[in-house]
Amino acid sequence: MHTLLDIALVAGSFVIGWAVRAWRGQKGHEKKFLTTSLVEDGRTVAASPMLPSALVELIPVPIVLLDMEGHLRHVNRTAKGLFGDSINAVVRHPAAQAVLAGLPREMIETTLLELDVPVRRVVRASFRRWEKSMRAVGWDFDGVVMVLADHTEAAVVDRIRTDFVAHASHELRTPLASLTGFIETLQGPAANDPAAQQQFLAIMAGQAARMQRLIDRLLYLSRVQRLEHTRPQQMVSAGDITDRVLEETCVMMRNADASLTVEAPEDDIFFPADEDQIVQVLLNLTENAVKYGGSGVAITLSAQPSKRGGVVFAVVDDGEGIEPDHIPRLTERFYRVEKRGKVSPEGTGLGLSIVKHVVDRHGGRLTIDSAPGRGTRCSVWFPPAA
Amino acid sequence: MAPEGVHTVKSYEQELSRLRAMMTRMGGIVESQVAQAIAAVTAQDEDAARAAPGQDPQVDALERDVEGLAIRLLALRSPMASDLREIVAALKITGDLERIGDYASSIARRSTRFDLADSRISLSGLTAMGRLVQENLRRAIDAISQQDPERALEVWQSDQGVDEYYTAMFRALVTYMMEDPRNIGPCTHLLFIAKNLERIGDHATNIAERVYYAVTGENLPAYRPRGGLASDAAETSVTR
């Protein structure tokens, strides 16, 4: 990860240092190349200096320009893409503010800061101060250049691994204990009872399948978590996504005696996302609707443009609905709604947790509206391109 | 850089901008205090438990500075309309921020007084509630620094989730206590922690209301969408 910071620092200080030198330098052609300023009668007229914002837009590392009070003056495209609106939280973080308060001229200072929400991040921020008397490329205020580098991955991988081990060992213990119990029974008391053997083997197959599902889900979840701090940039089509969901759910719908209707928007909507992950999110939501909606449930999947930009996907069912006290806890890992004493055997308690992590990664929002007897509406909003 | 509404007195503009910067800085500190408090409880992080109360003096100093500057602006500049609203709102918002910092310190201090090592009490509800509160606080502080009424409205609407969490936590903790009297000690601490988190959520909502008023000049309705009532939870879980 050091390389990224190095590139950032080298690129940042190189371009800015170069710009400063160019401005102060006596070589006319160098000055002209960068600023297209005119020199008339020995007097410099800054006709159209290359704006600092235009300059930092070109640098492919996240850069923020601040004034001396710490107000954002410019956030370049890379920074917007990587950090979204967390950029404010980065700048006001006490570690960053402490550096800003005592930053000497011409010195580069670096600090490491951590954010918890909306996704956990560890960011390395390097600061360099300039003054308007330096007359650097048209800045008319004293300020600070802040170059950011994301160090989240190294910091979270460790935690993800611990989480995985803890969850896997805890959640696999129950089905494993039941498997061991049945194996002992098959070896002893039921050794000569073919009818009981068939019955036990069927239960064992079910438990093994459950363990398999659990492991698959856990692996998927840790993969999602590992990518959580990287915001997807690729534009995808909402129409393609709903088509894929319709295809992939058709077997499930037939087996469960449920129906899925897709309401696609008139004009397709494009938004930055990881297509496979969004499909997974909608599959999980649809699966929940089938599992908890009861038989003959009618499900609608829609994609609509949002008033505040971006797209809203909604999965609506006319099933049994959810008691209000469960709703806030649904996205917790391994939280499952118990229906009159029985827990759905197929649920891993991870589906909505995965949904939440994917939505957080995209800077989106998950909303669940439900009431007993009135069905459930799960909607996910994804923001437009930065 | 010369939009309409620029004040003729340059230093007035600078003072207003300094006021905003101080509020943002205060918000940043309070935000990190809340993060430390939550880490102190959910990850049993003792460094964090000490760090959160350690930032109190800084928050108090900033509160005094903001107050001083706001009073100075009111006395010397006779601000009008949106400036006046912003300055008066700043006075109140710093009060809310300071309270949030206090609650965070109290959570952090409490976290060292109980040990969950050999009980089966799950903290996942508290972790999730903490995240939601942090998320709301982040948006409320974003709303202050960007003077953004839309953000403020979002916070105002999503406090309902925090209330619902509190109710769910209340129920779960009462159940733990009924199961085993040895749980009563730690659960009482957790109950206070959940209450403090809920209060932090309320102050974040207050901030959102004040930003909304300062920017638009209109008040949000007095009735706020509310989640489950804790008193109902007490009844249902006790009579069960």
Is it the case that residue B235 has pLDDT exceeding 60?
no
Task: Identify the pLDDT of residue A133.
Answer: 65
CA distance, residue A79 to nearest chain B CA (Å): 17
Chain A residues near residue B32 by CB distance under 8 angstroms: 93-94
A92–chain B Cβ distance below 8 A for any pair: yes
The boundaries of the domain holding residue B153 are: 10-239
Chain A residues near residue B161 by CB distance under 8 angstroms: 328
pLDDT in tens, A38-96: 333 334 434 444 566 677 888 889 999 888 888 888 888 888 888 888 898 999 999 99
A94–chain B Cβ distance below 8 A for any pair: yes
- Please report the DSSP string for A49-78 in residue order: PPPHHHHHHHSSS-EEEEETT--EEEE-HH
Pick the CATH number of A2-150 from 3.30.450.20, 3.90.180.10, 3.40.630.10, 3.30.230.10: 3.30.450.20
CA of A247: how far to CAs of A254, A271, A377, in Å? 12, 21, 21
Considering only the beta carbons, identify the residue of A92, A115, A328 that sits closest to B27: A92
Q: Which residue of B has its CA nearest to A66?
A: B21
CA distance, residue A97 to nearest chain B CA (Å): 7
Beta bridge partners of A74: A65
A323–chain B Cβ distance below 8 A for any pair: no
CA distance, residue A339 to nearest chain B CA (Å): 17
Chain B residues near residue A329 by CB distance under 8 angstroms: 125, 128, 165, 168
Does the beta-carbon distance from B125 to A89 stay under 8 Å?
Answer: no
Q: For chain A, what are the domain ranges? A: 2-150, 156-230, 231-386
Does the beta-carbon distance from B25 to A329 stay under 8 Å?
Answer: no
Q: Which residue of A has its CA nearest to B141?
A: A89
Chain B residues near residue A115 by CB distance under 8 angstroms: 35
Alpha-carbon Rg for chain A in angstroms: 28
* Any domain includes B116: yes
Is it the case that residue A317 has pLDDT exceeding 80?
yes
3-state class (DSSP) for residue A46? coil
Instruction: Count Cβ–Cβ pairs < 8 Å, chain A vs chain B.
Output: 80
* Any domain includes B207: yes
Chain A residues near residue B51 by CB distance under 8 angstroms: none
Chain A residues near residue B167 by CB distance under 8 angstroms: 325
pLDDT in tens, B4-37: 445 555 688 888 888 988 999 999 999 999 999 9
- Contact yes or no for A142/A131 (Cβ under 8 A): yes
* Any domain includes B5: no
Chain A residues 130-169 within an 8 A CB cutoff of chain B: 140
Task: Identify the pLDDT of residue A344.
Answer: 55
Closest CA to A122 of B67, B35, B189, B80: B35
Q: Which residue of B has its CA nearest to A117?
A: B135
Task: Identify the pLDDT of residue A136.
Answer: 55
In one-letter notation, the amino acid at residue A320 is E
Does the beta-carbon distance from A116 to B131 stay under 8 Å?
Answer: yes
Other CB atoms closer than 10 Å to residue A312's CB: what's the count?
Answer: 21
Calpha distance A85→B35 (Å, rounded)? 18
Is it the case that residue A364 has pLDDT exceeding 50?
yes
* Any domain includes B16: yes
Q: Which of A85, A86, A92 to mutate to test the interface with B (most CBs of B within 10 A)?
A: A92
CA of A348: how far to CAs of A164, A227, A250, B37, in Å? 14, 22, 22, 31
Task: Identify the pLDDT of residue B212.
Answer: 92
Other CB atoms closer than 10 Å to residue B125's CB: what's the count?
Answer: 21
Beta bridge partners of A128: A108, A145
Task: Identify the pLDDT of residue A284.
Answer: 93
Task: Identify the pLDDT of residue A340.
Answer: 52
- Whether pTM > 0.80 for this model: the answer is no
pLDDT in tens, A193-238: 888 888 889 888 988 888 888 889 888 988 888 888 888 889 999 9
| CATH architecture of the domain with residue range A231-386 | 2-Layer Sandwich (3.30)
Does the beta-carbon distance from B141 to A93 stay under 8 Å?
Answer: no
pLDDT band of residue A32 (cuts 50, 70, 90) is very low
pLDDT in tens, B105-144: 999 999 988 887 777 788 888 888 998 999 999 999 999 9
pLDDT in tens, A251-288: 888 888 888 999 988 889 999 999 999 999 999 999 98
Considering only the beta carbons, identify the residue of B17, B132, B134 that sits closest to A69: B17
Task: Identify the pLDDT of residue A273.
Answer: 94
Does the beta-carbon distance from A118 to B138 stay under 8 Å?
Answer: yes
* Any domain includes B2: no
Query: For residue A123, what are its two tokens?
Result: 């960011």
Q: Which residue of B has its CA nearest to A363?
A: B135
Does the beta-carbon distance from A93 to B18 stay under 8 Å?
Answer: no
The topology under which CATH files domain A156-230 is Helix Hairpins (1.10.287)
Does the beta-carbon distance from A69 to B21 stay under 8 Å?
Answer: yes
Query: For residue A245, what are its two tokens?
Result: 């969901």
Chain A residues near residue B25 by CB distance under 8 angstroms: 70, 92, 97
What 3 state SS string does A147-167 have? EEEECHHHHHHHHHHHHHHHH
Task: Identify the pLDDT of residue A252.
Answer: 86
Q: Which of A65, A73, A88 to mutate to test the interface with B (most CBs of B within 10 A)?
A: A88
Tell me, what's the ipTM?
Answer: 0.80
Chain B residues near residue A69 by CB distance under 8 angstroms: 17-18, 21
- How much helix, strand and coil, in percent to the nearest 5, is found in chain B? 80, 0, 20
Considering only the beta carbons, identify the residue of A71, A328, A332 that sits closest to B21: A71
CA distance, residue A27 to nearest chain B CA (Å): 31
Chain A residues near residue B124 by CB distance under 8 angstroms: 332-335
> What is the domain count for chain B?
1
- Contact yes or no for B179/B65 (Cβ under 8 A): no
Task: Identify the pLDDT of residue A37.
Answer: 38
User: Could you tell me which residues come within 8 angstroms of residue A96 by beta carbon, excluding any fewer than 6 positions away?
Assistant: A90, A111, A113, A125, A127, A146, B28
B34: domain CATH number is 1.20.58.220
3-state class (DSSP) for residue A304? strand
User: What's the burial of A80, exposed, middle or buried (CB within 10 Å: 0-12/13-18/19+)?
Assistant: middle
Is it the case that residue A187 has pLDDT exceeding 50?
yes
In one-letter notation, the amino acid at residue A131 is E
CA distance, residue B231 to nearest chain A CA (Å): 14
CA of A361: how far to CAs of A285, A330, A357, A383, B206, in Å? 17, 18, 6, 11, 28
* Any domain includes B114: yes
Chain A residues near residue B128 by CB distance under 8 angstroms: 328-329, 331-332
DSSP β-ladder status, A311-317 and A235-237 = unpaired
Query: For residue A152, what are its two tokens?
Result: 């989240």
Query: For residue A114, what are its two tokens?
Result: 């951590």
